[in-house]
Amino acid sequence: MPSFEEADRGQMQGLITSAYGHMVHTGYLFLRLVGAPADAAAWLRGLLAAGHVMTSRTWRPDRNLPKTKPDYAVNVAFTHAGLKAWRVDGQTLKSFSPAFMEGPANSERAASLGDSGAERPDLWEFGGKEENAVHLVVVVHATTADERARVISILKSDLKMDGRDALQPVAGDQLGAHMIYSDPVRGSRVVKEHFGFNDGISQPELRGLKKDSGNRSAAGQNTCAAGEFVLGYPDEYGFYPPTPLTHRSRDRGGMLPESPYRAEHPEYVDFGYNGTYLVYRKMTQDVASFWGYLKEQCRQLFGKEDPQTVLWLAAKMVGRWPNGVPLVEAPDLVDMTRYCGHLNHFMFAESDPDGSACPFGSHVRRVNPRDQLKPGTPRQSLQMTRRHRLIRRGSTFGEPLFDLSILDNPQDVRALEKLLRLEDDGRERGLHFFCVNASIRRQFEFVQQSWSVSRTFNGLRDDPDPVVGDAGSRVCDLEDGFEIPGNPQSLRLKSLHRFTRTRASAYFFLPGLDTLRYLSTLNAG
Amino acid sequence: MKHTAVTVIARLKPSADLPTLAQYLLAMGQTLSADGDGTIQAKLSEVSGLHFLRLLIIKDPDRGPERARLLLAAVIDGDENDESATDRFLAELGDALPDLDKIWGGCEGYVGRDGFVAFMSSNLIRPAAFYVAFKEENVESLRRYDALRRRWDELRFPQGRHSPEGPPPWSGRPFSVLRYWRRFCRWVARPVTLVPQLAATFADGRRMIRAYGFRPTWAGATTIVRGLNRYPGWRFFNLMTCNFERQARPRLSQVPVDRTNPPFDRNEQCGFLEAGSHLPGVEDRLEQNQLTLITPIANRQRLNQLGAVLGAVDSYARIWSRPGNLLGMSTIHFVRWMPIDDGRRLLMLSDYDHSWEAYIDEFIEMIRTGMDAIWSSAAKTGVPAYKTGPTELYQDNYLWHGSGDASTFKHFLRAHQANAHLFYSAQASRTVLHTKEDRQLFRNVSLTMSDHEFRTRVLENAANEEI
């Protein structure tokens, strides 16, 4: 099999390898196939013929020339129900991973992912019930809002939204955007989420895609085998990940690529090659409740409401300062604006073994534990962590509740005092969370279940992820909290509850271009 | 050994009503997890010294596809060579369970409550290998840790206490001469403590060579330690014995399609999965978890070889394993292996922390060669094995890189896993890492100490922690 760098990146959808950083406006069309599959296939053929679907091909026309960045990008992914409605054959459908087949609305899966109570699937906006199940998503990225509107209108007109449409939107247009701010220390452009923290700093890279950075211990931890994120390449175990297979007789046009298993199973071709799984979660963020909770905890712990201390508590919960500076490297508030090092070149085991800089239960220490998983050596921990990484895509929706830039300058206490007076405006805001992984069970679900939702992760007690966990939702007497180890005095934030809520979720398969072409001809007569 | 593994497999009569029995056990299990309606009360928390208990119906393929057996597996405090400890436990269990007749009434040889202990004792199976995370801890001492922890948390996080200074300043771990002095003393004393351990290991080795022969014993032990080069001692041993592992290359998985969930092909399944139950979801919602595996043993030669491997595992677990750490695995409370059915199948019973996926991943990462050695017994029955040369599939009859194919290996395990109808844990939210930390913090600490003394002693213990 070819190695990743030799592979034809033109056969891979661009969402896998690029966050489309310059395209800050996003739109997600969640569609449902209601008409004839042939019409839907014709729409997909049109999409491909027009060249709308963005691939992973480099934007650099020549090695020595600058990148020619596109104005928009479109990607298409299908749910299992969608492939079934598209009339993909039963044998292929059965060869997908069980997690993808069952979907996040499965009651057992939802319970272990923390989607219970008010977050249970039948209360979701879409994707939770049979009648609002999603069949496919069209992900649109564009440089401007006008460009996004133009692309969406083209897509919609192609969908023939005039009565005889084959595909209908399930839940209106889900629009989003990257909230761009400038970093006053580095002068760079950063993306924030609604609580006010810089987002998307630690993203794993595919081995072979770029030159690995020199420092193996810190920078190298972010580089994972391509098979962790794309089907058809070896993963971190050194094996090819399980892939959906199609019987050769079903691929009369010979459009699907040969399977890596052709020697043992010559009768099958590879439906999954250059494809991957895409997880979607629409999460609302209760910003006023988040800062209100911290204000209340600050008053209870220290007897006063001090905005800088509130900010300190928030940073402890996240594991980074709002400007992305890691607590491990800059534990004090004054260090936040002085730190000039790399935002992601840090480890936990040696720098902060007792969690007094970055608490063990903080968000960043859970979703990417790096070298601190007990009781293995740092090297083993890094290896185990690499088998559970996610490439995060997605964007925020809704207007920010307050001017998030005040968090980047904590010395301006007067501006920071706004944090103490925040009140909910009743508008919805949050995150369209997408992540790319080759195994939903081993990657997304594992991280969510075993690292985020688990109260006992890595030796913790009654301590779920304070940012994305399901704190306060247990049906028992035990109270969730958040421990801030200190020397000599530790603190515990009590009565922790959840600040993010799941409003929709779906598991998608993001096919390779060959498979997309196959799907576009599947019902063509 | 201060713990005893009680494993009883009782055959069910052909006339036994399996669905009713399964429903009854499930209802009892739901009551234990505070999930059910409380109609069937099992007072297992009143059974003294009981750590874990599970009850499940498993297949009895030797006697026909429809036949079944009832498996009881428990871990209790008490010397494993002291039969009275087991008898006492069984007697207390008989009192704690609401209706023995409803559970074992359909079993062959069961004569009623009066003969319960004798009936169970006659069906007891001893483990061939048994690992205990904390050999010195019993249920009472673990409960004491809970009480100490509650007090420590009250002292650490006092209610309504204000700290006017603001957030505590960050400071590193204080340098302590005493800590390094103690570490030095331990290092000096190490050779002395090694003597009895080495003597016990040689005694075990001699016993195993007599039972299984030199070659299987040597090959079994060296296969396990082949992948343990991360430990300097084992690296030296491997170097001296030329015991090298070949580098795994990117390979094709033996099961190309992801099939880690039920349902499975009935033919490859030895356990008894409850119809309609969704195993991953049910088991992974608990902080503690259980795994029951029944895998085939290919032939008598493999059985002999397995005996040697399990002997080595058992010897290591009893003599060398450090508290809460089985060769780098920190999620196992208890695990045991035993050949059953006259050596035709291998039964593994494990009580562990967190999700199945995390558990198996840790196994593969930490003791893959150990997994390969144990499940070489199931060679050619679905367990993955890889050629490292043109013809080489096995070396000394052991698999190469079998469990490294995580997808296929997980499939193999899932296919042979049996779901427990009832699972009891004395402390369901306590993980191995918790006990490890508590042992360190609450050494020489008692509840009767004054607050000041308590705090001083615990902080001292914390500062002396070796990281």
**B394-395 and B345-353 strand pairing:** unpaired
pLDDT of residue A168: 87
Take residue B27 and report the two structure tokens written for it: 């209802």
Q: Report CA A237 to chain centroid distance, whole Å.
A: 23
Q: Using the beta-carbon criterion (under 8 Å), do B281 and A234 form an inter-chain contact?
A: no
* Chain A partners within 8 Å of B385 (Cβ): none
Collapse the DSSP code of A420 into the 3-class scheme (helix H, G, I; strand E, B; otherwise coil) and give the result: helix
ipTM attached to this prediction: 0.85
Report whether pLDDT(A98) > 70: yes
Closest CB to B330 among A304, A374, A454: A374
Instruction: Give the integer Cα–Cα distance in Å for B108 and B131.
Output: 31
CB A133 within 8 A of CB A79: yes
The answer to whether residue B232 neighbours chain A at the CB level (below 8 Å) is no
Instruction: Give the integer Cα–Cα distance in Å for A436 and A241.
Output: 14
CA distance to partner chain A, nearest, from residue B232 (Å): 13
List the domain boundaries for chain B: 3-125, 197-425
CB A226 within 8 A of CB A233: yes
Instruction: Give the integer Cα–Cα distance in Å for A12 and A514.
Output: 9
Residue B274: how many other CB atoms lie within 10 Å: 20
CA distance to partner chain B, nearest, from residue A242 (Å): 5
Query: Helix A37-49 vs helix A513-520: angle between axes, to the nearest 10 degrees?
Result: 140
Take residue B359 and report the two structure tokens written for it: 């558990």
Instruction: Give the integer Cα–Cα distance in Å for B81 and A2.
Output: 59
Collapse the DSSP code of A191 into the 3-class scheme (helix H, G, I; strand E, B; otherwise coil) and give the result: strand
The answer to whether residue A509 neighbours chain B at the CB level (below 8 Å) is no
Q: Using the beta-carbon criterion (under 8 Å), do A240 and B251 form an inter-chain contact?
A: yes
pLDDT of residue B457: 87
The parts of chain B modelled with pLDDT lower than 70 are 1, 33-41, 159-176, 246-286, 386-401, 465-467
Report whether pLDDT(A205) > 60: yes
CB B333 within 8 A of CB B133: yes
Instruction: Give the integer Cα–Cα distance in Å for B431 and B438.
Output: 11
CATH class of this structure's domain B3-125: alpha beta
Q: Using the beta-carbon criterion (under 8 Å), do B260 and A441 form an inter-chain contact?
A: yes
The answer to whether residue A68 neighbours chain B at the CB level (below 8 Å) is no
pLDDT of residue A5: 56
Looking at chain B, which residue has its C-alpha nearest residue A110? Answer: B281
| pLDDT-wise least confident of A8-12, A430-434, B258-262 | B258-262
pLDDT of residue A523: 78
Instruction: Give the integer Cα–Cα distance in Å for B165 and A356.
Output: 17
Looking at chain B, which residue has its C-alpha nearest residue A442? Answer: B357
* Chain B partners within 8 Å of A240 (Cβ): 250-253, 256
Looking at chain A, which residue has its C-alpha nearest residue B462? Answer: A354
Top pLDDT among A145 and A473 is at A145
Instruction: Give the integer Cα–Cα distance in Å for A410 and A422.
Output: 17
Top pLDDT among A318 and A337 is at A318
- What is the rounded average pLDDT of the residues A312-319? 95
What sign results for the dihedral spanned by CA atoms A296, A297, A298, A303? positive
Instruction: Fill in the DSSP letter of residue B160.
Output: T
pLDDT of residue B258: 59
Mutating which of B163, B176, B258, B355 best tests the A interface, going by the most A Cβ atoms within 10 A?
Answer: B258
CB B42 within 8 A of CB B31: yes
pLDDT of residue B169: 41
What is the overall mean pLDDT for chain A? 88
Closest CB to B357 among A95, A376, A446: A446
The answer to whether residue B433 neighbours chain A at the CB level (below 8 Å) is yes
Instruction: Give the integer Cα–Cα distance in Å for B293 and B286.
Output: 19
CB A510 within 8 A of CB A276: yes
Take residue A480 and report the two structure tokens written for it: 């969730």
Those of residues 376-435 in A touching chain B at CB distance below 8 A are 376-377, 379-380, 383-384, 387
Take residue A390 and report the two structure tokens written for it: 């996610």
% of residues, chain A, pLDDT over 90: 53
The closest alpha carbon to B287, from B427, B436, B429, B424, belongs to B429
Instruction: Give the integer Cα–Cα distance in Å for B433 and B332.
Output: 10
Report whether pLDDT(A397) > 80: yes
Instruction: Give the integer Cα–Cα distance in Å for A171 and B189.
Output: 70
Instruction: Give the integer Cα–Cα distance in Å for B9 and B50.
Output: 19
Sequence-distant (6+) residues with CB within 8 A of A424 are A286, A287, A288, A289, A401
Take residue A141 and report the two structure tokens written for it: 């990225």
Instruction: Give the integer Cα–Cα distance in Å for A162 and A174.
Output: 20
Closest CB to B405 among A239, A357, A456: A239
CB A88 within 8 A of CB A519: yes
The answer to whether residue A335 neighbours chain B at the CB level (below 8 Å) is no
Residues A116-154 have pLDDT tens digits of 888 999 999 999 998 899 999 999 999 999 999 999 999
pLDDT of residue B466: 52
Residue B26: how many other CB atoms lie within 10 Å: 19
CB A113 within 8 A of CB B280: no
Residue type, A183: D
Looking at chain B, which residue has its C-alpha nearest residue A457? Answer: B354
Those of residues 40-79 in B touching chain A at CB distance below 8 A are none
Residues B158-182 have pLDDT tens digits of 765 545 444 444 334 455 677 778 7
B362 to each of A228, A271, A365, B207, B403, how far by Cα in Å?
Answer: 18, 31, 19, 31, 12
Tokens 């058992």 -> residue: B314
Alpha helix positions (H), B323-445: 356-375, 406-415, 432-441
Q: Using the beta-carbon criterion (under 8 Å), do A238 and B251 form an inter-chain contact?
A: yes
CB B356 within 8 A of CB B289: yes
Instruction: Give the integer Cα–Cα distance in Å for B3 and B365.
Output: 28
Collapse the DSSP code of A311 into the 3-class scheme (helix H, G, I; strand E, B; otherwise coil) and give the result: helix
Mutating which of A80, A108, A269, A449 best tests the B interface, going by the most B Cβ atoms within 10 A?
Answer: A108
Top pLDDT among B166 and A310 is at A310
The answer to whether residue A108 neighbours chain B at the CB level (below 8 Å) is yes
- Establish, for the pair of chains A and B, how many residue pairs have beta carbons separated by less than 8 Å: 181
CA distance to partner chain B, nearest, from residue A107 (Å): 9
Collapse the DSSP code of B359 into the 3-class scheme (helix H, G, I; strand E, B; otherwise coil) and give the result: helix
Angle formed at CA B363 by CA B230 and CA B187, multiple of 5 degrees: 35
> What do you get for the CA distance between the two ends of chain B, in Å?
28
* Chain B partners within 8 Å of A491 (Cβ): 157, 168
Report whether pLDDT(A25) > 90: yes
Q: Is the peptide bond before A464 cis (omega within 30 degrees of 0)?
A: no
Count of alpha carbons within 13 angstroms of residue B417, beta-carbon side: 25
* Chain A partners within 8 Å of B173 (Cβ): 353-354, 487
Instruction: Give the integer Cα–Cα distance in Å for A194 and A189.
Output: 16
Alpha helix positions (H), A121-234: 145-158
The answer to whether residue B171 neighbours chain A at the CB level (below 8 Å) is yes
Take residue A323 and report the two structure tokens written for it: 């400007």
Angle formed at CA B277 by CA B272 and CA B281, multiple of 5 degrees: 115
CB B413 within 8 A of CB B359: no
> What do you get for the CA distance between the two ends of chain A, in Å?
34
**A223-224 and A205-206 strand pairing:** parallel
Instruction: Give the integer Cα–Cα distance in Å for B37 and B150.
Output: 30
Residue B389: how many other CB atoms lie within 10 Å: 9
Q: Using the beta-carbon criterion (under 8 Å), do A239 and B167 form an inter-chain contact?
A: no
Q: Using the beta-carbon criterion (under 8 Å), do A239 and B429 form an inter-chain contact?
A: no
Closest CB to B281 among A112, A243, A259: A112
Q: Using the beta-carbon criterion (under 8 Å), do A303 and B404 form an inter-chain contact?
A: no
Q: Using the beta-carbon criterion (under 8 Å), do B168 and A259 form an inter-chain contact?
A: no
Instruction: State phi, psi for A55 to the nearest 5 degrees.
Output: -105, 180
pLDDT of residue A327: 94
The answer to whether residue B405 neighbours chain A at the CB level (below 8 Å) is yes
Top pLDDT among A95 and A7 is at A95
Q: Report CA A186 to chain centroid distance, whole Å.
A: 25
Closest CB to B256 among A265, A300, A450: A265
CB B406 within 8 A of CB B361: yes
CB A512 within 8 A of CB A57: no
The closest alpha carbon to B332, from B301, B359, B314, B304, belongs to B359
* Chain A partners within 8 Å of B353 (Cβ): 456
Q: What share of chain B is helix, strand, coil (3-state, %, to 5)?
A: 45, 15, 40
The answer to whether residue B175 neighbours chain A at the CB level (below 8 Å) is no
Instruction: Give the integer Cα–Cα distance in Å for A257 and A264.
Output: 16
